[in-house]
């Protein structure tokens, strides 16, 4: 029988990689809290309708990529493919309208059935920022600034470019949609099969097509900026001025769109050229119609999601974990005392490496593999004298010290300068 392997598109996150990904999450959490965001979580699965309503029945995610199934009660449920819809559902379900602006930070696993590629798996992980209930352009500026601050704290901001666009208000979007339908209808015979379907249902999504023929047509398509009304232009100008005031550089990209009608005004992505064709590490936008689409009251919102795996690939390795103290007993009596001594050392603030068996030499080799800073060695003789042997594993020097003085004598090993 062949050994079992992970399901395609999933992988085990082993300690070194997990530490790098945790560094991304911890950094994001710290920066988000500094901007007044509070951490929350939603269930990993929701009723399928939550995503079908918000992502569009005809979108690729809903029609091709979601992990959906019927549970034993006959309910259609889906493993979450993204966080925004669940947070907005939670906003409605928990009656949080009186807490606006509601500012949330979240992180966790997402699931999409797509072709695995570098930094993108069928189970992947995201950090997420949402602001619900703030219609002002200042909210857009802040959300983008949080993303920039996280990237800067990870040391990767200079490896990315912020791309920025406006989708205008619903009236502007309707005008642009009509212009796109007129333009692409005149060239329908040159569109790909997917884009011919999109032309009837969601023409803005043609602008995202990867088909070479579609791309050639998109290059000559009408520009969104030519169809904005004054209110939409003013909103976008306020966002740009806010970013300028914060010295956050950006590049305008009038082909950066969001296909669903509840998206309005600001759309943005932090992109990099270092991770292949799928270059976005943070992507977001304003979704003023989303909560209403879920059955809630008209409530504006804006947010973004960032790929943890992709950010961890870009970021420098996090600081190494604290080096442990190895506790090495010699003989049955010392073995029995070792857990108590190890607990005392841990309570003093040191990580401890305590092997379960083996001779002194073998345990010292294990301590070396664990990158231990020092070893506490004791046997029957030391116990009778009330002492232990403290060995500096970097310098090789060792000395016998009073057992009651151990914690004090370990103090310098916290800084690595005994």
Q: What pLDDT does 250 receive? A: 97
Question: Going by C-beta distance under 8 Å and a sequence separation of 6 or more, which residues neighbour residue 330?
Answer: 360, 377, 378, 379, 380
Mean pLDDT of 397-407: 94
Phi, psi of 171 (to 5 degrees): -65, -45
What pLDDT sits at residue 76? 93
Residue 292: pLDDT band (50, 70, 90) is very high
Q: What is the pLDDT of residues 112-165, one digit of tens each?
A: 987 776 667 899 999 999 999 999 999 999 999 999 999 999 999 999 999 999
Residue with tokens 């073995």: 335
Task: Give dist(CA 162, CA 239) in Å, integer.
Answer: 13
pLDDT at 44 over 50: yes
pLDDT the model gives residue 279: 86
Q: What angle do CA 177, 57, 189 make, to 5 degrees?
A: 50
Q: What is the pLDDT of residue 188?
A: 87
- In this prediction, residue 22 has a pLDDT band, given cuts at 50, 70 and 90, of very high
State how far the Cα of 300 lies from the Cα of 294, in Å rounded to an integer: 13
CATH for 15-169+229-314 is: 3.30.930.10
pLDDT digits (tens, 9 = 90+) for 229-242: 999 999 999 999 99
Q: Give the model's confidence band at 52: pLDDT under 50 very low, under 70 low, under 90 confident, else very high.
A: confident
pLDDT over threshold 50, residue 417: no
Domain 325-414 part of CATH 3.40.50.800: yes
pLDDT of amino acid 60? 59
Could you state, in order of their start, the residue ranges of all structural domains in the chain? 15-169+229-314, 325-414
Min mean pLDDT across 33-42, 192-201, 311-320 is at 192-201
Q: CA-to-CA distance for 131 and 160, rounded, in angstroms? A: 23
Are the C-beta atoms of 289 and 54 separated by less than 8 Å?
no
Compute the distance between CA of residue 221 and CA of residue 177 in angstroms, rounded to an integer.
11
Q: In 10 A of CB 243, how many CB atoms?
A: 20
In this structure, what token pair is assigned to residue 278?
Answer: 């799928």
Longest dimension (CA), the chain: 95
pTM value is 0.88
Helix, strand and coil content of the chain, in percent to the nearest 5, comes to 45, 20, 35
Q: Rounded mean pLDDT of the chain?
A: 91
Residue whose pair of structure tokens reads 């804006």 in the numeric block: 302
pLDDT, residue 418, reads 43
Q: Look up residue 257 and give its two tokens.
A: 């769109």
Q: How confident is the model at residue 201 (pLDDT cuts 50, 70, 90)?
A: confident
What pLDDT, on the 0 to 100 scale, is given for residue 277?
65
CA distance 41 to 39: 7
pLDDT of 57 > 60? The answer is no
User: Using 50, 70 and 90 to split pLDDT, how confident is the model at 62?
Assistant: low
pLDDT at residue 260, rounded to an integer:
72
Report yes or no: 50 and 294 within 8 Å, Cβ to Cβ: yes
Residue 280 pLDDT > 70, yes or no? yes
pLDDT in tens, 298-311: 999 999 999 999 99
Got the DSSP string for 323-389?
PPEEEEEESHHHHHHHHHHHHHHHHTT--EE--SS--HHHHHHHHHHTT-SEEEEEEHHHHHHTEEE
**Whole-angstrom distance, CA of residue 278 vs CA of residue 59:** 18
* Mode of pairing for the β-strands spanning 352-353 and 325-330: parallel
Sign of CA dihedral 281, 285, 290, 296: positive
β-pair partners for 108: 126
């Amino acid at each position: 029988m062949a050994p079992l392997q992970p399901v395609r598109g999933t992988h085990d996150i082993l300690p070194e990689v997990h530490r790098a990904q945790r560094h991304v999450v911890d950094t994001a959490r710290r920066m988000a809290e500094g901007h007044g965001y509070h951490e929350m979580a939603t269930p990993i699965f929701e009723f399928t309708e939550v995503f079908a309503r918000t992502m569009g029945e005809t979108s690729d995610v809903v029609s091709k990529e979601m992990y959906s199934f019927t549970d034993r009660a006959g309910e259609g449920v889906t493993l979450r493919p993204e966080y925004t819809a669940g947070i907005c559902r939670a906003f409605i379900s928990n009656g949080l309208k009186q807490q606006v602006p509601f500012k949330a930070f979240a992180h966790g696993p997402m699931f999409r059935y797509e072709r695995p590629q570098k930094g993108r798996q069928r189970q992947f992980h995201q950090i997420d920022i949402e602001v619900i209930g703030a219609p002002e352009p200042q909210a857009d500026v802040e959300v983008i600034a949080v993303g920039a601050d996280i990237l800067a704290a990870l040391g990767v901001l200079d490896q990315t470019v912020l791309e920025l666009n406006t989708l205008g208000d619903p009236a502007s979007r309707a005008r642009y949609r009509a212009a796109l339908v007129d333009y692409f209808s005149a060239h329908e015979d040159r569109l790909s099969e997917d884009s011919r379907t999109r032309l009837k249902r969601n023409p803005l999504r043609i602008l995202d097509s990867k088909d070479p023929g579609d791309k050639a047509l998109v290059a000559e398509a009408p520009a969104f900026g030519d169809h904005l009304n004054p209110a939409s232009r003013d909103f976008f100008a306020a966002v740009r001025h806010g970013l300028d005031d914060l010295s956050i550089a950006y590049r305008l990209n009038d082909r950066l769109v969001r296909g669903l009608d509840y998206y309005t005004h600001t759309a943005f992505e932090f992109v990099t050229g270092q991770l292949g064709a799928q270059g976005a590490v943070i992507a977001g936008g304003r979704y003023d119609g989303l909560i209403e689409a879920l059955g809630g009251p008209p409530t504006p919102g804006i947010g973004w999601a960032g790929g943890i795996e992709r950010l961890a690939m870009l970021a420098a390795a996090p600081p190494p974990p604290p080096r442990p103290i190895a506790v090495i007993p010699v003989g049955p009596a010392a073995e029995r005392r070792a857990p108590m001594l190890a607990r005392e050392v841990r309570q003093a603030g040191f990580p401890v490496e305590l092997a379960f068996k083996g001779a002194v030499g073998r345990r010292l080799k294990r301590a070396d593999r664990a990158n231990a800073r020092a070893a506490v060695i004791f046997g029957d003789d030391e116990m009778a004298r009330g002492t232990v042997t403290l060995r500096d594993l970097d310098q090789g020097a060792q000395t016998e010290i009073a057992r009651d003085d151990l914690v004090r004598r370990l103090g310098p090993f916290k800084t690595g300068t005994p």
